[in-house]
Amino acid sequence: LRHFLSVEHLSRSLLEDMLDTAASFVDVGGRAIKKVPLLRGKTVVNLFFESSTRTRSTFELAAKRLSADVLNLDISKSATSKGETLLDTLRNLEAMAADMFVVRHQDSGAPFFIANEVTPGVAVINAGDGRHAHPTQAMLDMYTIRHYKGGFDGLRVAIVGDVLHSRVARSQIHALNILGAEEVRLIGPRTLLPVAAESLGVTVFNDMAQGLRDVDVVIMLRLQKERMDSAFLPSEAEFFRLYGLNNEKLRHAKPDAIVMHPGPINRGVEIASEVADGPRSVILNQVTFGIAVRMAVMSMAISGQESSQNPEQGEDH
């Protein structure tokens, strides 16, 4: 691994390696370990062109626990507001000896563009691009599922709500299929599901009771209004009535089903507080595991870059 831009096209063994590496950073209490020297002397730059609470903070914590120096560029106060181009911003940050860019951008494909432009040896991690991909979120979700369910064989996973605008769902679908989940279900109104969704290797349901029947994992998604045309905004009350997860609808899933959500949650829109704060919710555990998973991604990318600079030192994925 040299960059981590999407999970699509990666091998099962690489994804498993990532999960195993993350597990090596987690202590028995499930919290990430304090500090290891794997990125000592490296500089990680967080480049977030879109807002974030979880991803940005856990990338910062992960980089610090790997002993890297971390620079959080405040885009709203950076020289991009004076007309500096993305490329010129990058060149200047590279001149400060950045070794890794963690990029969130509202445009699909922006981290791929940056990965093509950076100096060899500099790694780029996609922290969410447009509605395209959010690969580290998908991997921390896979880590959470493996932690609670022991693996993916025979597992039925339902992804519920606004799949159409969700970069998280797209990455989760690829990761679940690569890791061998039995069935990935998408549940939502036709207007919020991708056209020809079945071609992604999923089964589609428009009814919650049918779609949730006997699933092991329920992943709820937020209505991503920032990516919707205002003329087509659904009514929150109607959406909650039909697709909001409450204890009554959760009864259709297996009795030991876990409930996940990438966050931020909108209580009373896609999920009721009784479920979000209930005994089957692992939503905050996902956040905790995110630190270890991002430590794994960053350490694997830096070691991949080092191998590619010194090919005799090891294999590059």
Cβ distance to ligand CP smaller for residue 59 or 243: 59
Residue 263 makes contact with ligand CP by CB under 6 A: yes
Residue among 111, 188, 262, 304 that touches ligand CP (CB under 6 A): 262
Q: Is 211 in the site for ligand CP (CB under 6 A)?
A: no
By CB under 6 A, the residues from 78 to 137 that bind ligand CP are: 128, 137
Answer for which of 11, 13, 24, 53 binds ligand CP (CB under 6 A) is 53
Q: Per-residue contact track with ligand CP, 221 to 260, x per CB under 6 A?
A: ----------------------------------------
Number of residues that bind ligand CP (CB under 6 A): 9
**C-alpha span between 1 and 163 (Å, rounded):** 28
Work out which of 21, 52, 67, 266 binds ligand CP, going by CB under 6 A: 52
Per the DSSP assignment, residues forming a β-bridge with 105 are 129
Should residue 284 be labelled a site residue for ligand CP when binding is judged by CB under 6 A? no
Q: Which of 6, 46, 55, 126 binds ligand CP (CB under 6 A)?
A: 55
Residue 206: CB minimum distance to ligand CP, A: 25
Minimum CB–partner distance for residue 154 and ligand CP (Å): 27
135 vs 304, which CB is nearer to ligand CP? 135
Question: How far does Cα 140 stand from its chain's mean position?
Answer: 7
Site for ligand CP, rule CB under 6 A: 52-55, 128, 137, 262-264
